[in-house]
Structure 1
Amino acid sequence: MRVKYGFLCMFLAIAPSAYALEGTSPPILAPLQQQAQAAILSSQFLARFHYKPVPLDDALSAKIMDRFIKSLDPDRALFAQADIDKFMADSTKIDDAINHEDLRIPFSIFNTYEQRVVDRMTYARSLLKQNFDFNVQEEYSLQRDKEPWPQSDAESNELWRKRVKSDWLRLKLAGKADDAIRTTLDKRYQNSLERAYKYKSDDVFQMFMDAYTKSLDPHTDYFGAAASAEFDISMKLSLVGIGAVLQERDDYTTIRELVPGGPAQSSGKLAVGDRITGVGQGESGAIKEVVGTRLDEIVQMIRGAKGSVVRLDILPADAGPDGKHNIISLVRDKISLDKQAAKKTVLSVKADGVTRKIGVITLPAFYEDFEARRRGDKDYRSASRDVAKLLAELKQDKVDGVLVDLRNNGGGSLSEAIDLTGLFVGKGPVVQQRDAGGKVEVESDDLSAPAWTGPVGVLINRGSASASEIFAAAIQDYGRGVIVGEPSFGKGSVQTVVNLDQVAHNSKPKFGELKLTVAQFFRVNGGTTQLRGVTPDIGLPGLSDPKSFGESSYDNALPWTEVKPAKYVPSANMAPLLPQLQGRHDARVQSDQDFQRFVEDVAELKVQREKRAISLNETQRRNEMAAQAKRVKSREQINDGVDNGEDDGLQANERSLSADIAMEKARKNAKDVLLKEAAAIVADEADLQSGGLKATAQRSGSTDGK
């Protein structure tokens, strides 16, 4: 599963500045020759080397067309049925378009999409001049992905009338006055309208190739140059820049966060909330104004070679639009993205008068600096190396058990998953791979002895995928520890990255990279994590919706299957301990008010998630709000990460920066009831094992189960 980070990027959200666009049409975008060449080269690789090759024919063409349209208008709120009829006339011609290096069909669809965005946003803004009647009984559909496309302009207008009315009512219920509501919504729709004028040819091609690759399987991807660079950064946890997290806000590129120790923070010349209005290269290069420039383009201007100088034109946070600007110079340096690195904490768990120390290792991703490793750098960064250091520190802390928190860890390096398993299991098979030809290879770790031999727990959720599932499955199959949480994502496929420019012997980047599925993972017990994921030994409630998130939510996921078990020797057998661990868990959470509140919140979230429509009647909505407030008031307040607060009706970039940061801080400081309970389960494991109920080793050579 490709890892995505909200923090890493300085980042690629696209939010334009405000300028007048009335009466103008968005630019007509056309494909570049190099894009057509990249498409046909990708098709050749996919047809030959994909794990389950699918011929590029009329049938696949129709799937690509359908997926491309859905990616543009998932809620069926922009295109009309007449648009869809026109598009589908070409639905079987995508294969010919790629083979003939002619991508006018998808670009024509996208140009229509841009115009529809302009049409709809212009209409939405016009509705703000009127008042709405919130006494009538009508509903707005929240989930329109299966609804019919609007048949006429009148039907489309009615849909958008209800959408604008819904946006207005949310703000009204939050206590906003009519004038403030008009201002907020007008700016919101204006921003959406302006985004249609910001797209470039590369954006269209990336979306089209996403539709193509995702029509084969959920995890085959195409990376343009920008996407490829971000993926590399996510794997090595470093980049060269100034060390600032940037965000588009109020038409300015705004500093949201300064990375500790980075050039921006060390200079003492920048603060959170400062706005970048210009960027210059070197000590004397001309400063280019960047107000209104796409954020990803500004990011690329600020990044550069280590030791080089970048100059920034800064409008201070406390200055008005006409305030005094400051010109500052910063020397670019390597920035370590330590927020995504492994870290440890120690939790004290008290039970029956005994306090046990549980070391928690939180691992957000299986990262590895491939480039540094290839060039022989002895200090290259990797997840398993960092965890090995943390385990040594936890030994010094004399912890009674270790809990590895893999929640929302979407995977990463396969070799790191194997090496991390070795830290707890030692030498032996970790995972099996079967390629397109049916050949099965066993991947093993060669660490002579594990770095940690004490009690182990692994905490997973629906967001734990790929490498996380390999590690959790190996710990489970070896009987090495207890798996706690909710069933994992279910990604059991293997991808490899092909640099298309290297294949074509291009001297400069033109074609991008292709990440294609080439094999499937299997556990050492012979089963696969594909589709079903890893089933925890002790289940905990989760916030995710399995219907919309996880491998089983994809319509073209590979099926579950199995191969012969590998020859491995389990470290132990956890089975005798599990009934007692489950019993202790059940008894503990029954009397844990925080845990029971979390269970209630999860149940309420599920109810809200399954609503397909929302009332636009003010009295009914206020009654619903009152009932929700009564429910919250009836119990002691707890910040458990589930938002039970009042809806302010605002989008993230519509709040003040301080309010946005405060909300993020509140989420970070939420009481983690699941982590607390998982640590208690590992403490129970330590107690039971030390009390003579140690898991008995099974040394019978080959085995096929836990």
Structure 2
Amino acid sequence: MKRIVFFLLPFVVLASFLPSYVSNGENRELADTAKVIMPSDDQLKSQMVITGLITNYHYRKIPLADSLSSVILDTYIESLDYNKLYFLASDIKSFEKYRYSLDEDLKKGNLVPAYHIFNVFKKNFLTRQVFIKELLKTPFDFTADEYYEADREKASWATTEAELDEEWRKMLKSQAISLMLSGKDWEGTAKILNERYDRLNKAIVQYNSEDVFSMYMNAFAESYDPHTSYLSPAASDNFKIDMSRELEGIGATLRTDNDFTRVAEIVPGGPAFKSKQIYKDDRIIAVAQGDNGEFVDVIGWRLDEVVKLIRGPKGTVVRLQILEASAGANAMPKEIRIVRDKVKLEEQSAKKEVIDIQQNGKNYRLGVISVPAFYINFEDAQKGVKDYKSTTNDVRKLINELKAENIQGLVIDLRYNGGGSLLEAIDMTGLFIEQGPVVQVKNSDGSIDVGDDKNTEIAYDGPLAVLTNRFSASASEIFAGAIQDYERGVIIGEQTYGKGTVQNLIDLQRFIPDAKSDLGQVKLTLAKYYRITGGSTQHKGVSPDIAFPSVFSASEYGESSQPSALPYDEIRPTRFTSFDKIDAKVIQNLQKSYSSRMANDPEMKRLIRDIEEAKKADSETLISLQMAKREKQKEEAERRRENMEKLSGGSIDTETGEDTSEPVKKADDPYLKEGLYILADLIELVG
């Protein structure tokens, strides 16, 4: 079996990607309407290169045809007006002429339809500002018992300006209630909302050709899968900064989601990760500098402008107002405080602790290793430095230290581990098995590589549990899946994220060396992960042997929530020898003990109740526009938040933002605590 080496396939010659330009006589009427913003020559060339790369080399072999054209149109319109607050039904009808022609336009290098649609949006946007100003001159009636539909997918396109005015009235009223419940009076609320939409107006006016090009190219790229994307020159620079993880800031990757700035990833080891106050998919709505600075509302801001506010020198304080993803449509603003710092490799390191528990009259000494990411110091590894920094080397050392402390069982905690180095996932699996295959990778050409562990050393052969949650992804799923397939340990927690695809970055400059400006990059899906049993980790992720209650549903969080996600499928299993330690009978007995505790443990019963309440709140998309009802909802949400924060374990010093919990106290984390009880049951069953 061979090591997996990812490489870019040889690309066809540049000439086949260059445009057969639209003649001056074509689409003259559309060109006239799109004259406000038009594509540059470099963008026309880039579009052809991007089209060629994606259609020829994406893992998903979908022809650029009418069916894909329809998806691109819907995706592009949604990216411009997800909330259905600018386009009228008549506008959408007028765009129908493009539904089955965008594929041919992309092949010919014709970007005029994309720019035409944007300029209709821009015109509607600018005229909408007059209505907003007029509406905010008078306070709303906060006693009226009415509702606003927050799930805009359920909303229909307004057929008249009057209908659109009513939708805007309800949305602005809802935003006003949120501000007033956070302590603002009407005057302050109206001021914030006016400033918010003034900034939005300014941002749209400043949109340039690159912005429109980026939105349209991403609508095209994401029609293939959610992880394929076009990175504009500015986005490419930010991506490089994020990957280097040396930026002084909070350690979070952000993305634009309609008018909001949403957390795309939390960098393990960074200030945001340590704070345990902000998570993936939370939305940032305001930013303040220092402990006394005023909050700046950032709804509707360009992403690069929000990032500038959040970044800052090491040691300085930034305060954020966020809407927690777990709180659903009725989420109320929550203020958090983070001390900026550099995100360094050593701060992402795996860490250990020893926790003593009692169960059924017996004492158990158990080890826990938390693995926040699968990291490696590539430079030192290539130089042959002994004991270079890596997840596997660190975990091996921690295992030896824990064995010296006479642990009887071990938990590997992969919660919120978003992945990292595939080779590290393979090598770390090797610490718990003798040798053998760990993962299969199917390339876009149909060939299959097998990543296997060749090291016969087993660092730890005792009882093992792996703790996962909905945000354990990618390389985490490879490790957990292999441990499960080998029947080496028991997987406990939540179903994992379900990202089973591999991407590579391609610099567009290499195809157009004479370009007058930087062209950015394409992130392209080229391969797919499969478990050694043949099943993909895509969509399904890894299902735990013992499933804990979860507030995060697959339809809302994870790969399954993405419409264009690649499907689950299977290939032939590869040959391996399982340990036969965790068979169906063992799992059945563990489940029986777990169910008994769930039924009798007051803490777990309270946790389940809070989760069910949170799920119910998340499913309610009609938002009350009556102040009294919203105030009651806020109180209920705050109570749930206090209880749900226990899920992260530990405690936070609100003055310093530091984790002040002692390692042994982390058993107060109910999921880890239950995981330790399950591990104790496993020790009794298998020794």
TM-score by length of 1: 0.73
Counterpart CA distance in 2 for 1:569 and 1:462 is 29
Where does residue 327 of structure 1 map in the other structure? none
Distance 2:221 2:672 in 1: 37
Q: Does the CA contact (< 8 Å) of 1:594 and 1:638 recur in 2? A: no
Matched-pair contact (CA < 8 Å) for 2:126–2:201: yes
Shift of the 89–135 alpha-carbon distance from structure 1 to 2, 3 Å rule, reads same
Partner of 1:685: 682
1:566 pairs with 2:571: no
**C-alpha displacement at 1:458, in angstroms?**
1.3
Contact 2:270 2:348 survives alignment (8 Å): no
Residue of structure 2 aligned with 1:601, choices 587, 592, 610: 610
Is 2:597 the partner of 1:588? yes
- Counterpart amino acid of residue 80 in structure 1: L
Distance between the aligned counterparts of 1:206 and 1:404, measured in 2?
41
1:298-447 matches, within 5 Å, as 336=344, 338-370=346-378, 373=381, 381-447=389-455
Distance 1:411 1:550 in 2: 14
> In the alignment, which of 456, 464, 474 is matched to residue 472 of structure 2?
464
Shift of 1:244: 7.2
Q: Distance in 2 between matches of 1:171 and 1:179?
A: 11
Q: How far apart, in 2, do the equivalents of 1:408 and 1:665 lie?
A: 20
Alpha-carbon shift at residue 532 of structure 1 (Å): 2.2
1:219 is displaced (CA, Å) by: 2.5
Q: Which residue matches 2:30?
A: none
Query: Which consecutive unaligned segments of at least 5 residues does structure 2 have?
Result: 1-34, 255-266, 272-288, 294-300, 319-340
Shift of 1:242: 5.4
> 1:216 — aligned with what?
224
Distance in 1, Cα, partners of 2:606 & 2:310: 46
The one of 454, 458, 465 equivalent to 2:462 is: 454
Alignment-derived partner of residue 655 in structure 1: none
Number of the residue aligned with 1:189: 197
Partner amino acid for 1:682?
Answer: L
Structure 2 counterpart SS, 1:577: helix
CA distance in structure 2 between the aligned counterparts of 1:247 and 1:32, rounded to whole angstroms: 29
1:649-703 Cα offsets, whole Å, 9 max, x none, are xxxxxxxxx999979999x99963212212222232234333xxxxxxxxxxxxx
Shift in alpha-carbon separation, 1:337–1:118, aligned structure 2, 3 A: farther
Alignment of 1:146 onto 2:139: no
The equivalent residue for 1:17 is none
1:480 aligns with one of 488, 492, 511? 488
Provide the C-alpha distance between the structure 2 equivalents of 1:76 and 1:663, rounded to a whole number of angstroms.
Answer: 42
Q: Specify the code of the residue in structure 2 equivalent to 1:210.
A: N
Aligned match of 1:252? none
SS at match of 1:676: helix
Aligned to 2:98, what secondary structure does the other structure show?
Answer: coil
Post-superposition shift, 1:208? 2.0
> For residues 44 and 202 of structure 1, what CA distance do their matches in structure 2 show?
20
Q: Is the Cα contact below 8 Å between 1:589 and 1:596 reproduced in 2? A: yes
1:242-301: per-residue Cα shift (whole Å, max 9, x none)?
5677999xxxxxxxx9989xxxxxxxxxx94599xxxxxxxxxxxxxxxxx978479799
Q: Give the whole-Å Cα distance in 2 for the aligned partners of 1:458 and 1:381.
A: 23
Tell me which residue corresponds to 2:264: none
Preserved CA contact (<8 Å) 1:46 1:53: no
Distance 1:359 1:45, change over 3 A: same
Give the aligned partner of residue 13 of structure 2: none
- For residue 551 of structure 1, what is the amino acid of its counterpart? E
Q: CA distance change for structure 1 residues 302 and 436 in 2, over 3 Å: closer, same or farther?
A: closer
Q: Distance in 2 between matches of 1:111 and 1:610?
A: 35
Aligned mates of 1:315, 1:605 — CA distance in 2: 34
Which SS does the other structure have where 1:404 is aligned?
strand
Contact 2:348 2:372 in 1 (8 A): yes
Which position in structure 1 is the counterpart of 2:19? none
Secondary structure of 1:63's match? Answer: helix
Q: CA RMSD in A?
A: 4.2
Percent same amino acid among aligned pairs? 37
What is the CA-CA distance between 1:86 and the residue it aligns to? 3.1
Deviation at 1:416, TM superposition (A): 2.1
The separation in 1 between residues aligned to 2:371 and 2:81, in whole angstroms, is: 35
Q: Which residue identity is paired with 1:567?
A: R
- In the alignment, what sits opposite 2:645? 640
Change beyond 3 A, Cα 1:128–1:222 = same
Asked if 1:47 is matched to 2:55, the reply is yes
Aligned to 2:283: none
Aligned residue type for 1:342: A
User: Are 1:674 and 2:683 an aligned pair?
Assistant: no
- Residues 1:529 and 2:537 aligned together: yes
Q: What is the alpha-carbon distance in structure 1 between the residues aligned to residue 386 and residue 310 of structure 2?
A: 30
Q: Is the 8 A contact 1:125 1:186 kept in 2?
A: yes
Are 1:31 and 2:36 an aligned pair? no
Q: In the aligned structure 2, how far is the partner of 1:520 from the partner of 1:586?
A: 36
Q: Tell me how far 1:619 sits from its aligned partner.
A: 4.7
Equivalent AA in structure 1 for residue 575 of structure 2: K
Work out whether residues 142 and 626 of structure 2, in 8 Å CA contact, stay in contact via their aligned partners in 1. yes
- Give the alignment partner of residue 130 of structure 1, picking from 133, 138, 141: 138
1:544 alignment counterpart: 552
How many residues are treated as equivalent by the alignment?
Answer: 587
Distance 2:379 2:616 in 1: 47
- Deviation of the 1:483 alpha carbon: 0.5
* TM superposition shift of 1:99: 3.1
After superposition, the Cα gap between the structure-2 partners of 1:187 and 1:409, relative to the gap in structure 1 and judged at 3 Å, is same
Shift, 1:361, TM fit: 2.6
Q: Secondary structure at the match of 2:432?
A: helix
Work out the CA distance in 1 between the residues paired with 2:210 and 2:383: 32
Shift of 1:443: 1.5
